[in-house]
Structure 1
């Protein structure tokens, strides 16, 4: 490793960040320095190597063909360094960082995390609620909980639970029904970002000829659920989102049909990081807690 003596780590970090993120601006934001500082570091490394790594274009820096495998190795190396630093820090703090979508984190995880803390008081969990598809190989995140169809190339993926959908509405609205089918007279609360549609549930239950009544639209599943609790209409929910509202009586299910979407909950981790201690303990707990916690009350 003597050849590393002639190139500073800060320069290699700049080169790797520019190559991975695709721009000087993004690299500067990640490294916490100015764009000019990143540019200077890249030029300095190129001078020390006696060859350019990037082609300068009007829209930014583009890696030269020979530099692509070099940048890939740098990314793996920086990831290994990050993992080593994280392992040393975690040894002192007992911290486990879990990335989860805000809806899952807010509507399920926070309600159940106390049982994990009770079983493992020596492990402190930091929940990073984000819709960004964080790569645990390139960050300090230990585990990711994601909802999707898979696969997740480059990551270890454990399937946790199949997602099932069903209509919900407020008890006040449900009291106006003479029969469950009266639900279809209500406005439908929509989330345009959902990975499934009402047609999925209607077709699977043989009700695909029913004409739905348009209602309010929200860009977040939790807001849609709150709108249903507030009596603004009927919403096509799923178990981890609606569990607390159903068990507390804020919402009811007019129909018993719970339809699988083909989407699942997954636990992801990096194959380049150790999967033991806190990570394994959380994984074992989540695989048991998630399915056991979703016994819903019967339909009305």
Structure 2
């Protein structure tokens, strides 16, 4: 008995249109016209004998059947993408990684020579283009995400905890208003990390000042920077005081380019996680990278404990 598999192009059009709830937006993603998407959906509905959308004047709504069908179709495409990835992995030594920009600049790239020496047959291809990777649609093997982990369908491995504290140029310890206590910040410019981390638990200057009991410093003033390594560069150049993540300023602190004017720090609920689809658990390239990151983090922790 022949399997009842609907035509794949209409099926893809359905997944995109159902996800975006718009034939126009679906056409933009698929590089076709909205009418072509509508035609593909009609072909699929005729093939299935079921209506998948309710077409209203200014909106598109999934029917009950469409709502039930969508997650299964998305899983099917994810399995196809994973199977294709495994097929390619037998022949390719390239590991495609997407990371936040500052993670790449301040942590990954300074250590890449050690990965290359340990794994000469794997070429890393590093990008910073996507804050959140959709593995079912993007040609990425693994991603570094900033958050709490535990994303559905993904294997997540914590690779870097986060702690935040103020840093500044040593020059700010001199002059008419040297930084001796947190209240002295009212005489200095606050530099803000304007990275797009939207969770309210991510520390900012208002939270740090509240943490140390300072109420007479305006935490809303001062220039903002994105990505995070730009605010660190601004602090090195003496533009003001930055609130920085510990791992991003290790080198600058060791070299004396930055100092910690105050010891108070705030641990962060978020961490950096390695994330990849669960079905790629047996990919030797991913296993090699995960093991290497874990060894680097362990070495970092030993070094920090000795400092």
What TM bracket, shorter-length normalisation?
Answer: 0.7 to 0.9
Q: Contact (CA 8 Å) 2:86, 2:280: kept in 1 or not?
A: no
Give the 3 Å change call, closer, same or farther, for CA 119–9 of structure 1 in structure 2: same
TM-score, normalised via structure 2 length? 0.84
TM-score, normalised via structure 1 length? 0.86
Q: Please name the residue that 2:214 is paired with.
A: 209
Q: Contact (CA 8 Å) 1:246, 1:297: kept in 2 or not?
A: no
CA distance in 2, matches of 1:130, 1:240: 22
Tell me if 1:234 matches 2:236. no
Q: Please name the residue that 1:8 is paired with.
A: 7
Residue pairs, 1:76-155, within 5 angstroms: 76-155=75-154
CA distance in 1, matches of 2:209, 2:279: 43
SS in 2 for 1:36: helix
Report deviation, 1:157: 1.9
Q: Contact (CA 8 Å) 2:131, 2:145: kept in 1 or not?
A: no
CA distance in 2, matches of 1:249, 1:172: 11
CA distance in 1, matches of 2:210, 2:299: 28
Q: Contact (CA 8 Å) 2:191, 2:240: kept in 1 or not?
A: yes
Give the 3 Å change call, closer, same or farther, for CA 159–248 of structure 1 in structure 2: same
Query: Residue 272 of structure 1 is aligned with which of 279, 288, 295?
Result: 279
Greater Cα shift, 214-223 or 270-279: 214-223
Q: Please name the residue that 1:159 is paired with.
A: 158
Counting matched residue pairs gives 296
Give the 3 Å change call, closer, same or farther, for CA 51–178 of structure 1 in structure 2: closer
Report deviation, 1:174: 3.3
Tell me if 1:189 matches 2:194. no
SS in 1 for 2:259: coil
Q: Contact (CA 8 Å) 2:168, 2:240: kept in 1 or not?
A: yes
SS in 1 for 2:61: strand
CA distance in 2, matches of 1:45, 1:240: 51
Q: Please name the residue that 1:180 is paired with.
A: 180
Report deviation, 1:92: 1.8
Q: Contact (CA 8 Å) 2:96, 2:125: kept in 1 or not?
A: yes
Report deviation, 1:137: 4.8
Q: List gaps (5 residues or longer) in structure 1.
A: none
Instruction: After superposition, give the CA deviation of every residue in 1:42-78 in whole Å (9 maximum; x if it has no partner).
Output: 1111122233211112334321111222111111111
Q: Contact (CA 8 Å) 1:46, 1:53: kept in 2 or not?
A: yes
SS in 1 for 2:159: strand
Q: Contact (CA 8 Å) 2:165, 2:243: kept in 1 or not?
A: yes
Report deviation, 1:171: 2.6
Report deviation, 1:203: 4.8
Report deviation, 1:168: 0.8
Residue pairs, 1:273-288, within 5 angstroms: 273-288=280-295
Give the 3 Å change call, closer, same or farther, for CA 231–283 of structure 1 in structure 2: same
